[in-house]
Structure 1
C-alpha cells in the first residue's frame, strides 16, 4: 500500500486537476462541485449527455463522478467516457445499500469505486485525491491492501457468487449456509482485502484474478 503524506492531499496539489460530475440532480451537482473546488480542483458538472460531451471537447478531465441511475442503469455513460478520453478515473454515485448486481455492473463498466448517498463530501474528496496519487505512482492499481490469496476457501466461494451479483440469501442457498453466515464471510473478506465496501471488494477481486 502506498503511504500518502498529509501535504500530498492539500488543495494546492489539486490545482491542475479537472473533475466533472454527471447527475440530473442540480443540488447534488452543485454541492459536489463546490466541495472539490474548495480542494483546488477545476470542477464543474453536466446534467445531460450532450453537455457532458461538450465538457470533454473543451478539456479531458482527470476524474468523472457519474450518477448510477442516469449514467449506468439508463445510459452507458462510462463507455462514452472511455470513448471520449482514455484514462479518466470514474467514480459512481449511487443510493445507499446498492444491490450486489448493481455494484458489479458498475465495477465491470469501469468504475474505480462507488460513493453511496447521503454523500460524505469530505470523504469523497479524500478518496479521490488518494486514488489520483496512487494511479500516478504506479502502472498497476496499488489501491488494494491484500490479495485473494489472503482469503479462505469459503470466503472465495462467497466472493465468487457476490461477483455474479447474487444477494446474501441467494449465495446462502447456493452454498447451503445462512444469509447471516454469508454476510460474515463478506465482512471478513473486505477486512482482509482492505476494502471499505462491496464495490471496493469486487474491484480488488477483479484486478487480482
Structure 2
C-alpha cells in the first residue's frame, strides 16, 4: 500500500486507518517521489490525496497507467462543486475517486476493491504467461493440430488437411492436451485463446 499525502496531519490519520486495517503502508509526501521509484515498487494500491499533492499530480496516475504498472490508484480530494473533478481523475487513470471527507469504511471498501482488481489482473497475467510457455513448447505439427481443433476440426478433417491419418492426428492431439495441461478440449481451447492462438481458416 502506498500513500501520497503532503499534509502531515491528514497523512497521519490515513496512515493510522490503513495500518489498523492490517495494511503495510509506504508514505510519499510528493507524487513526484512516487513516480521516480514506481517501476521498482511491488504491486499494491496507491492512495493519492490530490488536494494536498496538487492537480498536477494526476500526471502520476497517467504515468502509472501508461507504464502498465500494477499500482491501481485511488484519488481522494474535495471537488468544491466542480463536477468534472472526479471525472478528470478517472480519465487520468485512477480506479476510483472519493470526495473528502469520506467515511473510513468507504475508503477501506474502495481499497479492498482496488486490491481485488489487482489480484484478478495479476492472475490473468500469470495465466497468459503460462499459456504462452505451453504453446511455445509444442512442435510445429502439434501447433497445426491445435489450430485445427480450434477451428472445430475432427481427427479426420484435420488429418485430411495436413496429410495425416486420423490415428496420427489422435496421437498429436493427446500430446497437445498433455502439453497444455488440459483434461478436456474446452480447457485446451481456453489455454490457446489466452496465448492468442488463432484457428485455421477452414477444415
Q: TM-score, normalised by structure 1?
A: 0.49
CA distance in 1, matches of 2:64, 2:52: 14
What residue is the counterpart of 1:49 in the other structure?
31
State whether residues 66 and 92 of structure 1, in contact with CA within 8 Å, keep that contact through their aligned partners in structure 2.
yes
CA distance in 2, matches of 1:72, 1:118: 17
Aligned residues: 121
After TM superposition, the structure 1 stretch with the greater mean CA deviation from structure 2, 48-57 or 127-136, is 48-57
Runs of 4+ in 1 over 4 A off after TM superposition: none
CA distance in 2, matches of 1:57, 1:31: 27
Task: State the shift of 1:47 in Å.
Answer: 1.0
Asked which structure has the greater CA Rg, the reply is 2
Task: State the shift of 1:33 in Å.
Answer: 1.5
Partner SS state of residue 28, structure 1:
helix
CA distance in 1, matches of 2:85, 2:113: 25
CA distance in 2, matches of 1:55, 1:121: 28
For the pair 1:65 / 2:37, whether they are aligned, the reply is no
Structure 1 or 2: more helix by fraction: 2
Partner SS state of residue 42, structure 1:
coil
Tell me: higher relative CO, structure 1 or 2? Use CA pairs within 8 A at least 6 residues apart.
1
What residue is the counterpart of 1:110 in the other structure?
93
Task: State the shift of 1:62 in Å.
Answer: 1.0
**CA spacing shift, 1:72–1:118, aligned 2, 3 Å:** same
What residue is the counterpart of 1:147 in the other structure?
none
The 5 A counterparts of 1:16-95 are 19-53=1-35, 56=38, 59-69=41-51, 71=53, 73-75=55-57, 76-82=59-65, 86-95=69-78
The C-alpha deviation readout for 1:124-143, integer Å capped at 9, x for no partner, is 1122113322443476xxxx
Partner SS state of residue 74, structure 1:
helix
Task: State the shift of 1:74 in Å.
Answer: 2.3
Gaps of at least 5 residues in structure 2 are 125-203
CA distance in 2, matches of 1:88, 1:125: 16
CA distance in 2, matches of 1:87, 1:98: 32
Task: State the shift of 1:98 in Å.
Answer: 4.7
The 5 A counterparts of 1:120-199 are 120-137=103-120
CA distance in 1, matches of 2:53, 2:64: 10
What residue is the counterpart of 1:177 in the other structure?
none
